[in-house]
Amino acid sequence: MKEHGIHERQQQLRRRALLTGAVLLLGLMLAGCATRSAPPPGAEPAAPPARQATGKAASIVRTARTLIGAPYVWGGHSPSTGFDCSGLVWFTYRQNGITLPRISWQQFGTGSAVAFDEMRPGDLIFHKVESKGKSLHVGIVTDRGTFVHAPSSGKRVMESSLANTYWRDHFIGARRIL
């Protein structure tokens, strides 16, 4: 019986390694397709223009903001246990009657592509990050030139500026769901 549990765990680890490899490969392929204009040397990068959230997008942004302060938990997808980045997106959209895939790289395949300067509230924004085996990060664009996201272990769901140099440099794409 104990041997069966070990075998099952080894299979889980193999699947996770394959999935991580696929996500890394996808991220590398997509990074070459990212479109953004670089600010002039020495200039602070600009956030896309703030746009008013209306209808379903306003509801999604409101829901996401109510979750600010929830703890980051890898694999988390509820306010009672905490969130990882894709779990936050999945939960927020689900609360608003929209079904999305649970995993960030699958979420990157939904909706339609949007340029950085064309993002609107409710759009999903994706970044390539390198942190403890994680490579694709997702958040929800707001009406303030910010996005709501679950950043990483030890942190909490927060709202960050799209003009932040780190996030701007790691931007790989945005998707419009609504």
Which positions are annotated as active-site residues? 85, 137, 149
Q: Is 163 helix (H, G, I), strand (E, B) or coil?
A: coil
Which two three-digit tokens encode residue 70?
A: 């929830």
